[in-house]
Amino acid sequence: MSVPVIDFSAFRNGTENERQELANRLVDEFKKHGATRLVNHRVIGDTIQKAYQWSEKFFQIPESEKEVIANIRDANPQRGYSYVGSEATSKANKRGEDGEFEICEDDDVAQDLEDVKEHFDYTRDGDPDFPTPWPSEASIPGFHNWMEGVFLPECQRLARDVLAAIELGLGLSEGTLTGCMESRVDELRIQRYPPLSTEKLKTGKIKRCHPHTDFGFITLLFQDATGGLEIEDRANGGWLPVVPTGAPTEVGVYISDTLVYKTNGHLKAAVHQVTAPVSLKDKEDGVLPERYTIALFAKADRHAHIGPLPQFVTTETPQHFPDLTALELHNKRVGQLYDARPGAAVPVVAKA
Ligand SMILES: [Fe+2]
């Protein structure tokens, strides 16, 4: 069993019945593991390949340039370059008493585990509250214009389609979820996982990415052919590898925390991690090859209240999540990655 690959074309071109069937199928899949994969959507393969090419170029710019645009490790939305070891996803979630992964609380003792990845996070339209520090035009000409002006809006339109399909599949009126979206808060992340020895993985303290859930409504994830992404198998325990099929438009969709709040847990977030690809699982002295991914974190407007919608709160399912604003939840979650609570002083951590 793995994460299915669903043809999404009917959502734009199908009849009303076909759209409804597709929406129902999507929601059914999300109820299993919080994830699915799509092909034949609005972002074409050439565009995705071009984004990978820009990503490779970005990670080759000199370290001194990257330092100038480094993300500030505080509880605010992430912007700019994050070096290997900067973000600690193991601090964001824990396994609760019922065995389910849940969001950490302030008094939880954080695990001290290391992620081996570097990334660049940006948004669009010169977000005045949390602006992106871009690399200079001289160091990577054309990167800023294309990534912000072409690629990000394409991904955002796809995210809006997917959230509209989720509304339909959940029986919500149009705009219930998509009406909370705000184009300036969505974040695009390009990410590189450097080569990593299986020997280091076996220590148990290091992974490419430790188990966690994402923070927005949904995440769209493009991954290269390397593999290693896994999602929690809720039915049988353990992990399901999300092995890339090689389809040029394949994109993963992962339910994230904001949608869990909004649906009062009716939809649960996909717990995911990145470790060794299947072919290297049992290798004693192997080396995981370099890996690239691109993620769109599609979010609710910062001021939107994300407490459960009334239709999901009943006597059998009382309100389980507080009515935070999207920014309050987001800052709590980002702060966990850096041991930085909202409003607290930023801890000083040496660069890895
Ligand atoms: Fe993630």
CA distance 313 to 135: 46
Question: What pTM did the predictor assign?
Answer: 0.94
User: Rounded to 5 degrees, what are φ and ψ at 264?
Assistant: 55, 35
- Give the distance (Å) from ligand 1 centre to CA of residue 16: 33
- Give the distance (Å) from ligand 1 centre to CA of residue 169: 24
Question: Vertex 167, ends 166 and 170: CA angle to 5°?
Answer: 80
Q: Which domains does the chain have, with CATH numbers?
A: 5-337 (2.60.120.330)
pLDDT of residue 64: 95
Q: Pick out the chain residues at pLDDT < 70.
A: 1, 107, 109-110, 341-352
Q: Which residues contact 221 (CB under 8 A, 6 or more apart)?
A: 229, 251, 252, 253, 254, 293, 294, 295
Q: Which residues contact 125 (CB under 8 A, 6 or more apart)?
A: 183, 184
- Give the distance (Å) from ligand 1 centre to CA of residue 163: 18
Residue with tokens 């393969």: 45
Whether the CB-CB separation of 30 and 36 falls below 8 Å is answered with yes
- Give the distance (Å) from ligand 1 centre to CA of residue 280: 22
Spell out the alpha helix ranges (H) of the chain: 10-13, 16-33, 45-59, 63-68, 143-146, 152-170, 198-201, 257-262, 326-337
pLDDT of residue 110: 66
- Give the distance (Å) from ligand 1 centre to CA of residue 189: 11
Whether the CB-CB separation of 55 and 291 falls below 8 Å is answered with no
CA distance 201 to 7: 35
Q: Taking Cα atoms as reference points, which of 254, 250, 297, 253 lies closest to residue 124?
A: 297
- Give the distance (Å) from ligand 1 centre to CA of residue 315: 33
pLDDT of residue 352: 41
- Give the distance (Å) from ligand 1 centre to CA of residue 239: 15
- Give the distance (Å) from ligand 1 centre to CA of residue 209: 8
- Give the distance (Å) from ligand 1 centre to CA of residue 320: 23
Count of residues in the chain: 352
Three-state secondary-structure class, residue 211? strand
pLDDT of residue 347: 45
Q: DSSP assignment of 154-207, as one string? A: HHHHHHHHHHHHHHHHHTPPTTTTGGGB-TTT-EEEEEEE--EEHHHHTTSSEE
CA distance 294 to 189: 6
CA distance 11 to 18: 8
pLDDT of residue 1: 64
pLDDT of residue 288: 96
User: Rounded to 5 degrees, what are φ and ψ at 163?
Assistant: -70, -35
